[in-house]
Amino acid sequence: MITEVASNIPPGLIFIVGALLIPFIRGNMRSAYMLLLPLLGIWQLTQMDAGTFGTITIFGLETTHVRIDKLSLIFGYIFYVAAALGMIFAWHNKDLVEQASAIVYMGAAIGAIFAGDLITLFVYWELTAVASVFIIWAARTDRAYKAAMRYLIIQILSGVLLAAGAVVRAAENGSVDFGAIGLASPGGVFIILAFGIKCAFPLMHNWVQDAYPEATPTGTVFLSAFTTKLAVYALARGYAGTEELVWIGTVMAVFPIFYAVLENDLRRVLAYTLNNQLGFMVAGIGVGTTLAINGAVAHAFVGILYKALLFMSLGAVIHRVGTAKGSELGGLYKSMPLTTVFCLVGCASISAFPLFCGFITKSMIITAVAKEGYLVSFVLLLFASACVFHYVAIKIPHFAFFGQDSGKLCQEAPINMLLAMGIASFMCIGIGVYPDALFSLLPYPVHYVPYTTSHVVTILQLLAFSALAFAVVQRLGLYPLVQRSTMLDFDFSYRWIGSRAFGWLLSRGAIAWETMRDDMLSMLRNVIKTTIQFHGPDGIMARTAGLGVSAGAVMVLLFVLLVAVMS
């Protein structure tokens, strides 16, 4: 009976409805309750059979609230795992705003994964945007407020484009089914732009670096796992095999390298690596073969794990030291040895080091790109993979935990943070050592052997030369110094140019308003003057007339009325 009820509840609603009880629970009981929700969600998914349910007809359009297949299931599993890790990491946090909004945000993302139509997807899509804004606001700083407002505008734009695309597709096909979409129609173009904003396509990407680092240490962990991976899922569902995505993904993988090398805020460095890793996934989706789709989905799965691990390690640093600025850190391995080890596991995973999860999934994508003859993309993806080792696996541990000692002494991270990082590290290594467990969850059967001599030797050579390049440049004093500043890239267009252009428009508008107001006041004074002239005490309309004149006027009016009636 319980199993039957669970299989008929839409995934994600456990979180969204469960959020209603959070204000009424206090202390550690609230944290325990929040951890129970993703565990219930994982159990629920194990009880659900493939297929669709929750079909409703709205305005003649058939909507499907839940669709269960292998593509949605693997994202559902990892979303629930990420939620559980985030709950453990944030166990000490009792901020009601962040906790409630995080639960709604994660529930909406999970609901979107299982949406079978564009209307249901749109509802959850917008709910993720609104709920995630409150996670950023929970930091309660002026920078967080401003970043969240910019973030909200961009995310709402994504929703507007998705709604427009759904309307156009409904007009074209009479259906809002969320399946293969493609770029053959205007509706498909609108929708891929909506997905592209959430997936941080080039020129649409700066909301990641702008907003994520402004959240709390725990809030950033929640944010890093869901929004962009939801977009990856949506692209895999609707645009698999769209060749343009190969080149978009390649650019995404390469361009963040140069900014991450110069960036001082290490959480912003991780935000740039988020763009970089998304590029591999998008390129794999663009290739569209079974190996490429499996690789992209698997890389999204492990990317959630190692990215959360890296954000957790820096979150622990902020929790103890109060900053993630590379210019203010160094030598923390003495005070936080376990956090240092967990950070190194995350760095090895994102760098695709053998025996770590990133090696398995990234090589699937690169192999698929090479097999389909995308030589330029293949070379650039290899270059981007080597550079990740440079600006993440070397830069972050060097500036945060090793390197020049900052003199900061602190305690090790709290036990709940260490537990969350330990579980994530175990999974990163476990998948790297035994990938078959992950392969069994992928959408298509896997006929791929990651641990071949050529793969291992190639990756080790890339990593070795990347480490050598860092050592030589550092030794020669040519490595860019971290600066106490905020670095802008495309967001320069709206954070600097846009703000000044808007200020100029406001000043011009103020001048125009002053001129218009003076003209209107002058006109009003003339009207009042004229009114007083005719209706004032000395005006024409205020003069009195004799009784005879009045009687004559009445007789004239009566005569005119009599003539009108008789005629």
User: For the packed helices 70-89 and 27-46, what is the interaxial angle rounded to 10 degrees?
Assistant: 160
Number of helices followed by number of strands (H, E) in the chain:
24, 2
pLDDT less than 70: residues of the chain: 1-7, 473-474, 476-502, 504, 531-550, 553, 567
532 forms bridges with which residues in the sheet?
A: none
Nearest of 476, 507, 470, 335 to residue 390 by alpha carbon: 470
3-state per-residue secondary structure call for 223-276: HHHHHHHHHHHHHHHHCCCCCHHHHHHHHHHHCHHHHHHHCCEHHHHHHHHHHH
Q: Which two tokens stand for residue 243?
A: 């060749």
Q: Which two tokens stand for residue 90?
A: 């944030």
Distance CA 229, CA 234 (A): 9
Q: How many CB atoms lie within 10 A of CB 474?
A: 13
Nearest of 346, 353, 362 to residue 433 by alpha carbon: 353
Identify the pLDDT of residue 496.
59
Identify the pLDDT of residue 238.
92
Distance CA 441, CA 209 (A): 31
Identify the pLDDT of residue 311.
95
Distance CA 282, CA 319 (A): 34
Helix (H, G, I), strand (E, B), or coil: what is residue 372?
A: coil
- DSSP string for 40-83: HHHHHHHTPPSEEEEEEEETTEEEEEEEESHHHHHHHHHHHHHH
Residues 43, 7: contact at Cβ < 8 Å? Answer: no
Which residues have CB under 8 Å from 355's CB, separation 6+? 429, 432, 433
Burial classification of residue 52, based on how many CB atoms lie within 10 Å of its CB (0-12 exposed, 13-18 middle, 19 or more buried): middle
Identify the pLDDT of residue 402.
85
Helical residues (DSSP H) of 389-497, grouped into ranges: 395-396, 415-433, 436-439, 453-475, 492
Distance CA 14, CA 5 (A): 12
Could you tell me the sign of the dihedral formed by the alpha carbons of 310, 207, 122, 242, in that order? negative
Which residues have CB under 8 Å from 169's CB, separation 6+? 118, 175, 176, 181, 185, 187, 188, 191
Beta strands 61-68 and 51-58 are antiparallel
Q: Which two tokens stand for residue 124?
A: 């959850």
Distance CA 92, CA 34 (A): 12
Identify the pLDDT of residue 67.
92
Tell how far CA 346 is from the center of its chain.
21
Distance CA 379, CA 546 (A): 106
Q: Structural domain boundaries of the chain?
A: 1-233, 240-324+336-479
Torsion of CA 58, 63, 65, 69, to 10 degrees: 170
Reported pTM: 0.85
User: For the packed helices 357-371 and 266-287, what is the interaxial angle rounded to 10 degrees?
Assistant: 40
Identify the pLDDT of residue 39.
93
Identify the pLDDT of residue 114.
94
- DSSP string for 308-338: HHHHHHHHHHHHHHS--BGGG---TTTT-HH
Report the Cα–Cα distance between both ends of the chain, in Å, rounded: 91
Identify the pLDDT of residue 524.
77
Torsion of CA 261, 246, 195, 204, to 10 degrees: 40
Identify the pLDDT of residue 422.
96
Residues 283, 250: contact at Cβ < 8 Å? Answer: yes
